[in-house]
Structure 1
């Protein structure tokens, strides 16, 4: 037992609070009798944030009085004591609590989370930003990244809510061709189809872009049901496929990993079950030589947690950072830059590193959070040209 562990041997959870913040963000703060707190995130990209906060509050009774350092016991209890434990809202609430518990454990041990997971498997984590066309490649280069994610332009040029029939395959392929010419062979192009393509559309798109060597195509089709359509697509293209953003818990990845249907998984740490479950999913994938690329979350809490597991997991090869990749180059700031106390990302030449700050390395600025309360946000209503509903 080290000095920190001995000092906090009687630590117990005393309070569980949630903060709903603009941008569909839900944060959880777990307090203890020793004055140590943990921060977690349970955000989601639509108007279900209040439901997730209520799920967290519903689990509070299983947490108060418990030792927060027994993370696996609490994860198993929260999952199994709640009989209905399938669904993204439940798994997001559990993920938020799990991340906060790891934050507490790191502070108790006086170590960053990645050290608790077994230490670093690499010196730094490769990152990518977002952007489309030549300008997207140029922006990535300007901030030191040699990788960028784009999406196929599925909707009409003059109407971003309507998918034409037939869709403009030529326009989508030309985008990738131009990006490859601009980036050269030493540049990676990642593509997120966002589940908006039918299997037939996905196959013709993947076949057409094979010569341009995309890093992967993410969510080429929808995730519901069996993985038969995904397996069919994988068997008919050489383009590496990626899934996982909307899968949760290890069981949601089991079939994809077991059949090695994809080359990459991109679990989202605020949906898949938290740090504890992400580590297990990555280990399952490693056994099938599947690489991992964590999906960006909604705030620095989730992204930082993913960088911690990215430092540790040997098959986690690239981290989605979006606008955070340009943080060292920001000339202006807004309230989001003041939402957290703690370290800023240390980014250089397309890689990010973490300081040896105990735990997660971030604290919520509660005054800023309260000054920017959550406002419900509905996702846009996409349709095909004939008026039928398209996935978003």
Structure 2
């Protein structure tokens, strides 16, 4: 089954997305997500100038060989730009294979390990009262797990809050240059335990709660935070410290029994290897789009399962519904799946461009059984929403020192 055409689309139905469409000689096509927030056009160039010319005429069925061809054959391996590009190609090829087999992709992996996908939503707010109000609404909506993020008093632009916006997609707009936000570790450390204390007092312990530090602490600071949060029995603390030095997680692990999650910026199994085999983490957060596609992610899941580590793929709003649907299939199959981040059902604009069908029932996300990923891309609708250059924020300490965002 020869590859005859590869097209790359960039659109902004609220946020920027990069979509790849691969067509074959018999007219079958598959789609993949190549979105890399703030570096979208770098991935587009990589796809159009360095990948597409190499794949025309190749057999679309040879997914494993094509993945290795693009990864090993480039010599300059790894890196967020190249991995996002490879991931989109890999996703599109799995979509094609599923359509040709007339089967959902999860069936090609070995079938279901569960009936539905456990998800966690986001309860954010400018105050503890607002966060708890949103948490209560999510519990009523059926969520069994929720991430809590709150603006830190007297701090501008705390990570994970909505900044007065109605939804995540509004956050993308009007950022032609990176906005700068303020960070204070001491204010944060003195405040966050109170958020979880009040959440447990009001809603009890049946709801699973988690929190994203976003790599803003040192290992010993993170260890102290995890100790302070132990009484509130969190599902996990995410990205407590940066992952460049894996042994930072060893320091945290030696001081607390709060479960740890990280890996949304991992590009390859090698990034996760040391943390997994030393059992310094409990959840791997690598996404299909940013981890190179389904082909390497299923290998990462198998490796993690040997060490009792579960998969909890990143589900940010800068990953398109194509990635979400790929995660649905991956999570249905993976025996060591833990939980999926889920930011909601999107906006009318988003759902005009990406066509898919999911439903949340009693904390579990379900989809219809369709060949391939079960998601399509409306090229004509996408033309209505042109690309807008946009960036993630930059974080600085109160004295102006550049910090992790």
2:234 corresponds in structure 1 to 214
Q: Which moved more, 1:155-164 or 1:49-58?
A: 155-164
2:362 corresponds in structure 1 to 349
2:144 corresponds in structure 1 to 146
Residue 152 of structure 1 deviates from its aligned partner by: 6.1
Provide closer, same or farther for how the CA distance between residues 45 and 140 of structure 1 changes in structure 2, counting only shifts above 3 A: same
Residue 292 of structure 1 deviates from its aligned partner by: 1.1
Checking the alignment, whether the CA contact within 8 Å between 1:176 and 1:209 is kept in structure 2 is yes
In 2, Cα distance between equivalents of 1:155 and 1:96? 41
TM-score scaled by structure 2?
Answer: 0.88
Q: Does 1:300 align with 2:321?
A: yes
Aligned-partner SS, 1:253:
helix
Checking the alignment, whether the CA contact within 8 Å between 1:39 and 1:100 is kept in structure 2 is yes
In 2, Cα distance between equivalents of 1:165 and 1:253? 27
Aligned-partner SS, 1:131:
strand
In 1, Cα distance between equivalents of 2:52 and 2:309? 36
Provide closer, same or farther for how the CA distance between residues 149 and 305 of structure 1 changes in structure 2, counting only shifts above 3 A: same
Aligned-partner SS, 1:371:
coil
1:32 corresponds in structure 2 to 24
In 2, Cα distance between equivalents of 1:371 and 1:381? 30
Deviations 1:164-185 (A, max 9, x none): 3633422111111112223311
In 1, Cα distance between equivalents of 2:19 and 2:112? 27
**Of 235, 251, 258, the match for 1:232:** 251
Matches within 5 A, 1:283-362: 283-297=302-316, 298-324=319-345, 334-341=348-355, 343-362=356-375
In 2, Cα distance between equivalents of 1:68 and 1:158? 49
Checking the alignment, whether the CA contact within 8 Å between 1:126 and 1:318 is kept in structure 2 is yes
**C-alpha RMSD of matched pairs (Å):** 1.6
1:250 corresponds in structure 2 to 269
1:119 corresponds in structure 2 to 111
Deviations 1:52-90 (A, max 9, x none): 111112111221111111111111111111010121111
In 1, Cα distance between equivalents of 2:116 and 2:218? 37
Aligned-partner SS, 2:31:
strand
In 1, Cα distance between equivalents of 2:58 and 2:294? 19
**Of 79, 83, 90, the match for 2:82:** 90
Deviations 1:213-263 (A, max 9, x none): 000001001122x31112111111111000110111111111111111101
**Structure 2: where are the runs of 5+ without partners?**
125-130, 159-180
1:377 corresponds in structure 2 to 390
In 2, Cα distance between equivalents of 1:242 and 1:88? 20
In 2, Cα distance between equivalents of 1:308 and 1:356? 10
Checking the alignment, whether the CA contact within 8 Å between 2:283 and 2:338 is kept in structure 1 is no
**Of 45, 51, 55, the match for 1:54:** 45
Aligned-partner SS, 1:347:
strand
In 2, Cα distance between equivalents of 1:100 and 1:282? 20
In 2, Cα distance between equivalents of 1:247 and 1:61? 27
1:330 corresponds in structure 2 to none
Checking the alignment, whether the CA contact within 8 Å between 1:124 and 1:351 is kept in structure 2 is yes
Q: Does 1:266 align with 2:285?
A: yes
Residue 208 of structure 1 deviates from its aligned partner by: 0.5
Residue 158 of structure 1 deviates from its aligned partner by: 4.9
In 1, Cα distance between equivalents of 2:287 and 2:295? 12
Residue 149 of structure 1 deviates from its aligned partner by: 1.0
Aligned-partner SS, 2:383:
helix
**Of 184, 208, 214, the match for 1:194:** 214
Checking the alignment, whether the CA contact within 8 Å between 1:180 and 1:189 is kept in structure 2 is no
Checking the alignment, whether the CA contact within 8 Å between 1:165 and 1:385 is kept in structure 2 is no
Provide closer, same or farther for how the CA distance between residues 288 and 152 of structure 1 changes in structure 2, counting only shifts above 3 A: farther
Q: Does 1:77 align with 2:75?
A: no
2:174 corresponds in structure 1 to none
Residue 154 of structure 1 deviates from its aligned partner by: 5.4
Checking the alignment, whether the CA contact within 8 Å between 2:117 and 2:339 is kept in structure 1 is yes
Deviations 1:308-333 (A, max 9, x none): 00000011121111123xx7xxxxx5
TM-score scaled by structure 1?
Answer: 0.91
Provide closer, same or farther for how the CA distance between residues 155 and 64 of structure 1 changes in structure 2, counting only shifts above 3 A: farther
